[in-house]
Structure 1
Amino acid sequence: MKLPGGSAVKYLKILVFILIITIIGYSFYSQQYLLTCFMLFFLIYFGYICWKKEEYRKTSNFNRRALYGSNIVLFFIFLIFMRLVQIQIFEREFFQNKVMGQINKTDILSGNRGTIYDSTGKRLAFNKNIYTVGINPSAIYDRTNTMNGIVQILNQDFIIKDKAVLLEEIKRGYEAGRKYKVVAKNITEREKEQLDAIVKKYGLTGHEIRFDRNIERTYYKNDVYDNIVGFIGYNYKSNSEKIGLFGLEREYEKYLKQKVLQRQNFYTRGRSIKLPIAKEFIRMNLNGNNIYTTIDNEIQFILSEELKKKFLSSKSDEAYGLVMDPNNGKILGAASFTTNKNKALRNPLFQNQFEPGSTFKPIVVASAMDGKLITKDTLFDVGNGRITKYGHTIRESSRSTRGVLNTQEVLKRSSNVGMVLIGDKFTDAEFEHYLKKFGLYDKTGVDFPGEIKPYTVPYKKWHGLKKSTMAFGQGIVVTPIQLITAFSAVINGGVLYKPYLVEKITDESDIIIRRNIPTQVRRVVSEDISRQLRGILEDVVADGTARRGQVEGYRVGGKTGTAQLSGKGGYLKDNYLASFIGFFPADKPKYVILVMFLKPKGETIFEKYGGATAAPVFADIVKRITKTKNILSQDISNITEIKEVKSGEANGFVDIEMPDLTGFSPKDVIYIFKNTDIEIKIEGAGLVDKQFPAAGTSLEDVKEVRIILK
């Protein structure tokens, strides 16, 4: 049976409606919301067409065609609308990311690593900006002017690559669609300024050329400071960022390190213009902090030069030197040299241990005097220069050391037997107690990475000979920094200070954010004992084993050391650590200096001893420091004090005498009369040979002093 035509169409419409509703339900259930919306709008559109059907029948052919045409246009508008819905609602995040990818750029902002200065403000480690120049081959042919600018850049003298080769590589990069090509590396700040002028002239954009900044760490006199300042580099923890690996660069990494900041900025497509946004960023200081060390550049240079001079002439395996202010622990100079070109990454001043030898004796003597076990006049019979302890014979280093010596003479002659007898005054517990008081059982705490702790054994485990050998500096191992720190406590008034290398840390505005102040660890000996030791050690230099450490016109004190080096089978014959530790001025020490030479060579044994090798270096260092720092000699200091004498009992007139200038330098003479109105006239060259007026003459009416040099 056939259904009427109208009924068939009607049922077909119903089926279509049911099908659309079914699709809408299924798509909604399966979370295909775009299809759900499309079918929903299609259902509305289909219902609209069905609703308008009767109107189509009743209208004229022209109107009918117009209605059909409008429905077709409406259908395409419907499709456009659905596409907009898809983009703006359902695929909004996808297209938003596409747009942001074209205009968004992550800018990495980084500051400069902090600068390291010496105590006078001289830069020891600082930053230098260098640049890598790269171009975009795929963009430089877009504008004629762009290529002209690139050619001008390639024509600069500091672009060392061949220009023709570069142009050919750029052309091939353009054809291959490459986005980046390096044309120059290690461009300095001044060279970049020249390139910036060309970029500005030809209107080159950041899309066409870019300058990638790198920071090159630069070190002042690296051969002098490398073992203290250190260096930066990469390691497995640095994440492709340079960090401090050694020295102060490592110790103060958290202060020196620059900050790195990532920010999202918006640009035009060519990256040439930054788009303004409402979001505000807080300005941040990204630079690292600056460090001011206690190192004095002048003293460091003097120490390094004199130490190296003797290191080479004595053909030593290694040499070490330290200069410290004994009154606060400031390290003013630190240097070391070695013949081992494959040396490990270490600073021997803080990380190598040695038996100190006789330089250790003042510490033992000060301990015994402080413990009231001896006085400076206590007598010791060293006999024929030999003593046997626990089956071992200990001998004097000099055959002339015989008979009865007092404490002062024990140090003056560097008597080993005398020191053994002083050591016998202690119990083992007392001896260990003083070693601990002098900090020889712990690290000094110096602000340098990798300081090693002294190797120590509790006194209950000492063998019988242990205390006797330690008394004259063998059987105990210390680092140079531990030795000079302990010795400073002997001569500075009896206080042990913590040594340090950094004075203060400041930000870029020179605001101090940290300051290292002198740290008193403990009192070790009394002020009176310290004063007595200064006098004894001054006498050691004046008339003892350290005579080569004398400096004419200055009061200095000190002690030589010659320690025999040990090996696997015992002590090595004719292999020594020659050393000298001294201080000046002797009455009020401002500088304490330690110099050590490992295995010095010489034709005679004496040339390998501390008195012959190390003491003269100390003297040369002191001479140069006094000149550099304008430290008056003891003689000049005495002369500059006004001498008042009575010229006659009748009137009681007070007069000033002309000093004896013979042997002084012109510089010293000028200094003496600097606060007077007397004119100084100098003739000749050299030192003062004659003077007018003569010594002892009244200076009351003198307007001119004439000196003749020879």
Structure 2
Amino acid sequence: MKYLKILTLLFNIIGFGVSIYYKLYLLTVFLFLLFFYFLYIFAKKREYTRKNNFNKRAMLSSNILLFFVLLIVIRLVQIQIFNEKYYDEKVKSQIKRNDIFYGNRGDIYDSNGKSLAFNQNIYTLGVNPSALYDRDTTLKGIEAILDKPFLKKDKAKILKELEEGYQKRRKYKVIAKNLTEHEREEIQEIIREYHLTLNEVQFDRSIKRTYYKRDLYDNLIGFIGYTQNSNSEKVGVFGLEKEYEKYLKEISIKRQNIYTKNRKIKLPFSQESIKTNLDGKNIHTTIDNDIQFILNEEVRKKFISSGSEEAYGVIMDPNTGKVLATTYHTIYKNKALRNPIFQNQMEPGSIFKPIIVASALDANLITRASKFDIGEGRIKKYNHTIREASRSTRGILSTDEVLTKSSNVGMVMIGDKFTNQEFEEYLKRFGFYDKTGIDFPGELKPYTTPYKRWDGLKKSTMSFGQGIVVTPIQMITAFSSLINGGILYKPYLVDKITDEEGVVIRRNLPTPVRQTISKELSKDMREILEKTVTEGTVKKGRVEGYRVGGKSGTAQLSTKGGYLKENYLSSVIGFFPVDKPKYTILVMFLKPKGETIFEKFGGAKAAPVFGDIVRRISKSKNILSENISSFSKVENFESPIKNETIDVVMPDLTGFSPKEVVYIFKDTNIEVKIKGVGLVKEQYPKAGTPLENIKEIKIVLE
């Protein structure tokens, strides 16, 4: 027995040392306690021999009981100390929940603060079938929710599915989708009434992106959707939504919180996060919704009436590069995901001619007084005959007349004065060899050929806008530099980006790229282009009472086999007011129809649209007519020298705005009474009536 005691203790000591060496800490604790247990047993041995049989059995029983207590202690040590993290997670997994916090995607506004793209929260309502009978009120509350008429659900069918889910211990069942904020609030009232918990009923929120007048803005604002790299989250796929994705994108945060068993109350010891704004930033565009509407409507009307295949329009502030409006129409239902204003290249035709004339004037190769003998209206270049579009264009033309009459032959003669290298340098100066850098995704890179690879005819055809391809944004940007003082600006669509408090975090400022022509030459170009409207090919673009300038164009459409007969790109590019241009307007129609060839030309198809756009913008923006100055004599019809009256008659006010009428009579003793809204439809007294004794006039607006 003595040796058994020694061997037992020795075994415990060796096992104790081995368990420590191999880091078997639970075994170490067990052997340590077992060692003292045996010491206790051996210490009680003598006392055991002196006991009677009853006491011996009692002592033996207590020793056995002590051994089991020892095992329980070891198990408790294992759970509370060595497996503490495991069981802690087990407990928390039954009461913790992953909460996802979402921000809102940033809004997109026009230049006047009108929302063009904004968010609507929509909700999915889910029920936990396994908790259906946890409380008496749970099923009653769900039935009350299903009674809501806006859910339009088969109540019996849903309850049957929930019952099946309960039997299979399912945790989630969707019972309603696409709920609005108002509908969600109605259901929340039921949830509060029946004291339903998050463990029984819950809402999952998602965002529905809403766009203002998709037909106006779909090719510009774009849209959001899923991509291969978006990780099941909607991101900007096209347009400004894509270009400014990193600013517009909302932030989502997933946090794990610990609740009471019914998940109704968050436990106070769960971690609280620092509050942060999760919303995306707001984009403020340069687009003017009023001008956008005017441009879209006028281009669309002509697009339909002319039977064109496609139509494009863009309006720019020539003094900053701000794009104020764009529009695009096509007969093709499945139109490509692109915006032709920035992503289509086309031969511009005669609207390109002012660029070449200005370049030749800037290089001192010609003057405005230069003469060009175009003879019978044809010229032969490299075995190719170039003719005038109009048979009436003949004889000797000045530089101004080359543009006003849109002479192809005259433009070839001007082009001949350049070397190929000089010609290319001016094309580069006006930005036709580079992207404009506009903040729109996928702007098309210009297709260009170095001058050393030009054939003999290349420069001649480019002189009148054929043989070179440009995007509409390139064309209007270059043209704007002709009439704004000679500065080529980088065009842009977004004015500023703000946070939720309206603080500007980024602003796009007008960016001058380079000087294309001198300020003096720019003034000359405005005069020439005004003549083109009053005397030349853009006569149908004239606007009564306003000074406007511009150039029409008619480009033959090319294919791999040559140019298509009687298929044209009809266009016009213009600006107003002439003295201080505020708007540059480009309008294009692809393959317009007409009974004669001339009805398909830019001067016939596009020029009237330009005039209508100018009229509507001038009224919308209260731009005073140039004719108002001719009525200024009304202001002083009493002679300052003699007490005599000047013979002044009532002007025709039809079509004027109230502001213009008040301006005309602002310094007279005549009182102006106005009825209605809009523009002047009727006036009293009538036009031509002497104003000698008139003290009051009335105008009726419509």
TM range (shorter): over 0.9
Given the alignment of the two structures, is residue 229 of structure 1 paired with residue 221 of structure 2, yes or no?
A: yes
- Aligned residue for 1:3? none
The residue correspondences of 1:193-272 to structure 2 (distance < 5 A) are: 193-272=185-264
Given the alignment of the two structures, is residue 421 of structure 1 paired with residue 410 of structure 2, yes or no?
A: no
Measured against aligned partners, the alpha-carbon deviations of 1:626-685 in whole angstroms (never above 9, x if no partner) come to 22112222113543587547726468x9x8985632252464464336756743357999
Q: Alpha carbons of 1:648 and 1:25: their partners in 2 closer, same or farther (altered >3 Å)?
A: closer
- Aligned residue for 1:661? 651
Measured against aligned partners, the alpha-carbon deviations of 1:47-103 in whole angstroms (never above 9, x if no partner) come to 101101222334566665554454344333322211111112221221122123223
- Aligned residue for 1:145? 137
Q: Alpha carbons of 1:681 and 1:101: their partners in 2 closer, same or farther (altered >3 Å)?
A: closer
Given the alignment of the two structures, is residue 359 of structure 1 paired with residue 351 of structure 2, yes or no?
A: yes
Paired with 1:237 and 1:416, the residues of 2 have a C-alpha distance of 52
Given the alignment of the two structures, is residue 288 of structure 1 paired with residue 280 of structure 2, yes or no?
A: yes
Paired with 1:115 and 1:477, the residues of 2 have a C-alpha distance of 36
- Aligned residue for 1:182? 174
- Aligned residue for 2:425? 433
Instruction: Pick which of 454-463 and 130-139 moved more.
Output: 454-463
The residue correspondences of 1:341-356 to structure 2 (distance < 5 A) are: 341-356=333-348
Given the alignment of the two structures, is residue 598 of structure 1 paired with residue 593 of structure 2, yes or no?
A: no
The residue correspondences of 1:357-506 to structure 2 (distance < 5 A) are: 357-506=349-498
Q: Is the 8 A contact 1:693 1:705 kept in 2?
A: no
- Aligned residue for 1:333? 325
* CA positional deviation for 1:292: 0.2
SS at match of 1:192: helix
Paired with 2:683 and 2:167, the residues of 1 have a C-alpha distance of 87
- Aligned pair partner of 2:75 in 79, 83, 87: 83
Matched residues, percent identical? 60
Paired with 1:641 and 1:507, the residues of 2 have a C-alpha distance of 53
Q: Alpha carbons of 1:545 and 1:85: their partners in 2 closer, same or farther (altered >3 Å)?
A: same
SS at match of 2:78: helix
Instruction: Pick which of 524-533 and 87-96 moved more.
Output: 87-96
Q: Is the 8 A contact 2:489 2:510 kept in 1?
A: yes
Paired with 2:287 and 2:633, the residues of 1 have a C-alpha distance of 33
The one-letter code matched in structure 2 to 1:339 is I
Measured against aligned partners, the alpha-carbon deviations of 1:225-252 in whole angstroms (never above 9, x if no partner) come to 0100011111111111111111001111
Q: Is the 8 A contact 2:309 2:330 kept in 1?
A: yes
Q: Is the 8 A contact 1:692 1:707 kept in 2?
A: no
Paired with 2:701 and 2:651, the residues of 1 have a C-alpha distance of 11
Paired with 1:234 and 1:203, the residues of 2 have a C-alpha distance of 38
Paired with 1:172 and 1:672, the residues of 2 have a C-alpha distance of 79
- Aligned residue for 2:532? 540
- Aligned residue for 1:6? none
- Aligned pair partner of 1:322 in 314, 331, 336: 314
- Aligned residue for 1:671? 662
Given the alignment of the two structures, is residue 577 of structure 1 paired with residue 576 of structure 2, yes or no?
A: no
Measured against aligned partners, the alpha-carbon deviations of 1:7-35 in whole angstroms (never above 9, x if no partner) come to xx334333433444444444444443322
Q: Alpha carbons of 1:301 and 1:666: their partners in 2 closer, same or farther (altered >3 Å)?
A: closer
Q: Is the 8 A contact 2:130 2:171 kept in 1?
A: yes
Given the alignment of the two structures, is residue 32 of structure 1 paired with residue 24 of structure 2, yes or no?
A: yes
Q: Alpha carbons of 1:179 and 1:558: their partners in 2 closer, same or farther (altered >3 Å)?
A: same
Measured against aligned partners, the alpha-carbon deviations of 1:343-400 in whole angstroms (never above 9, x if no partner) come to 2211111011011000001111111111222222211111000111111110000000
Instruction: Pick which of 450-459 and 673-682 moved more.
Output: 673-682
The residue correspondences of 1:39-50 to structure 2 (distance < 5 A) are: 39-50=31-42
Q: Alpha carbons of 1:209 and 1:329: their partners in 2 closer, same or farther (altered >3 Å)?
A: same
SS at match of 1:99: helix
Q: Is the 8 A contact 1:666 1:682 kept in 2?
A: no
Paired with 2:59 and 2:560, the residues of 1 have a C-alpha distance of 113
Say what the alpha-carbon RMSD is for the aligned residues.
Answer: 2.5
Q: Is the 8 A contact 1:644 1:657 kept in 2?
A: no
SS at match of 2:209: strand
Q: Is the 8 A contact 1:111 1:260 kept in 2?
A: yes
Q: Alpha carbons of 1:52 and 1:451: their partners in 2 closer, same or farther (altered >3 Å)?
A: same
* CA positional deviation for 1:494: 1.0
Q: Is the 8 A contact 1:692 1:706 kept in 2?
A: no
Q: Is the 8 A contact 1:576 1:599 kept in 2?
A: yes
Instruction: Pick which of 181-190 and 90-99 moved more.
Output: 90-99
- Aligned residue for 2:631? 639
Q: Alpha carbons of 1:78 and 1:588: their partners in 2 closer, same or farther (altered >3 Å)?
A: same
* CA positional deviation for 1:617: 1.0
Paired with 1:142 and 1:621, the residues of 2 have a C-alpha distance of 69
- Aligned pair partner of 2:615 in 620, 623, 626: 623
Instruction: Provide the TM-score with structure 2 as the length reference.
Output: 0.94
The one-letter code matched in structure 1 to 2:130 is S
Given the alignment of the two structures, is residue 192 of structure 1 paired with residue 197 of structure 2, yes or no?
A: no
Q: Is the 8 A contact 2:119 2:210 kept in 1?
A: yes
Corresponding residue pairs, total? 698
Q: Alpha carbons of 1:575 and 1:673: their partners in 2 closer, same or farther (altered >3 Å)?
A: closer
Given the alignment of the two structures, is residue 171 of structure 1 paired with residue 172 of structure 2, yes or no?
A: no
Q: Alpha carbons of 1:298 and 1:640: their partners in 2 closer, same or farther (altered >3 Å)?
A: farther
Q: Alpha carbons of 1:690 and 1:151: their partners in 2 closer, same or farther (altered >3 Å)?
A: closer
* CA positional deviation for 1:305: 1.2
Q: Is the 8 A contact 1:639 1:659 kept in 2?
A: no
Paired with 1:657 and 1:273, the residues of 2 have a C-alpha distance of 89
- Aligned pair partner of 1:103 in 91, 95, 103: 95
The one-letter code matched in structure 2 to 1:256 is L
* CA positional deviation for 1:264: 2.7
- Aligned residue for 1:132? 124
Instruction: Show structure 1 runs of 5+ residues with no match.
Output: 1-8
Q: Is the 8 A contact 1:643 1:656 kept in 2?
A: no
SS at match of 1:125: strand
Paired with 1:384 and 1:484, the residues of 2 have a C-alpha distance of 33
Instruction: Show structure 2 runs of 5+ residues with no match.
Output: none
Q: Alpha carbons of 1:47 and 1:659: their partners in 2 closer, same or farther (altered >3 Å)?
A: farther
Q: Alpha carbons of 1:498 and 1:21: their partners in 2 closer, same or farther (altered >3 Å)?
A: same
Q: Is the 8 A contact 1:579 1:615 kept in 2?
A: yes
The one-letter code matched in structure 1 to 2:117 is A
The one-letter code matched in structure 1 to 2:172 is Y
* CA positional deviation for 1:194: 0.4
Paired with 1:283 and 1:468, the residues of 2 have a C-alpha distance of 67
Paired with 1:394 and 1:657, the residues of 2 have a C-alpha distance of 58
Q: Is the 8 A contact 1:658 1:693 kept in 2?
A: no
Q: Alpha carbons of 1:706 and 1:157: their partners in 2 closer, same or farther (altered >3 Å)?
A: closer
The one-letter code matched in structure 1 to 2:46 is E
Instruction: Pick which of 81-90 and 352-361 moved more.
Output: 81-90
